[in-house]
Amino acid sequence: MKKKETVLKAFKNLSFLNSQEARTLRILSEYLEPLKRLSEQKVNNTILFLGSSKADPEDKDAILTRYYWEAEELAYKLAKWAIKLKPKGKNFVICTGGGPGIMEAANRGAKRAEGKSIGMNISLPEMEQALNPFVSPELSFMFHYFFMRKFWLVYKAKAVVAFPGGYGTLDEIFETLTLVQTRKIEKNHVVILLYGEEYWKKIVDFKALLKYKSIDPEDIDLFAYKSDPDEAFQYLKEKLIKFL
């Protein structure tokens, strides 16, 4: 008897799912799967840490090393504080892009506080970014589409803390500022903190933007500067407690 030929169902057909025609399904998957998993883990909201992937904790001569350990300390303080709040579900969960550098530091600090933390990694064609070992396995995500990753990084964030970083950090913090400036996110729904005042004032001259009337005076008030983990923690704690 001739062997019956197996016909794949469309949702099991990997050739189709990886095709251009199925792009919408892939995008939708990167929305629905994190939505389901975050709900299952009872993550109500997050504190997003941004910053350079190049910050090396072992390189004592590098300028960014200081910021690695200050990010680790700030994340530790925030996670330890948030755990004690005992809300329904998890509030103010530390969230990062899941990679090395400042991202690793924040996940590391949360783990030191015995809290869970989120890592939203991205697959890159020629420079694969490995997930750092401090992310909670059940809250580890891998994205193909940058815009879906950026959506989930910001969507549940009640605070965005930007440490010194390069193109990626600048892209993420300016997109967040734009969303707040245009009121796609209400100003009183998220706290934006630029950590490392000296760095940020050298990299971005916000006063020049104001001088050239590229932004309005109230746009300067969309964020604050801090340069010390203790000061940053106190500032964020006072702002975040209002969201409970």
Higher per-residue confidence, 6 vs 220: 220
Q: 212 versus 126: which is more confidently predicted?
A: 212
Contact between 65 and 59 (Cβ < 8 Å): yes
Task: Give the model confidence (pLDDT) of 160-170 as tens digits.
Answer: 999 999 999 99
Domain range list for the chain: 42-243
Question: What end-to-end distance do the CA atoms of the chain give, in Å?
Answer: 68
- Give mean pLDDT, residues 14-28: 95
Query: Do the Cβ atoms of 166 and 79 come closer than 8 Å?
Result: no
pLDDT (0 to 100) of residue 4: 64
pLDDT band at 61 (very low <50, low <70, confident <90, very high): confident
Instruction: Using DSSP, state whether 179 is helix, strand or coil.
Output: helix
Global pTM exceeds 0.85: yes
* Separation between Cα atoms, residue 122 and residue 146, nearest integer Å: 7
The domain 42-243 having CATH identifier 3.40.50.450: the answer here is yes
pLDDT digits (tens, 9 = 90+) for 193-243: 999 999 999 999 999 999 999 999 999 999 999 999 999 999 999 999 999
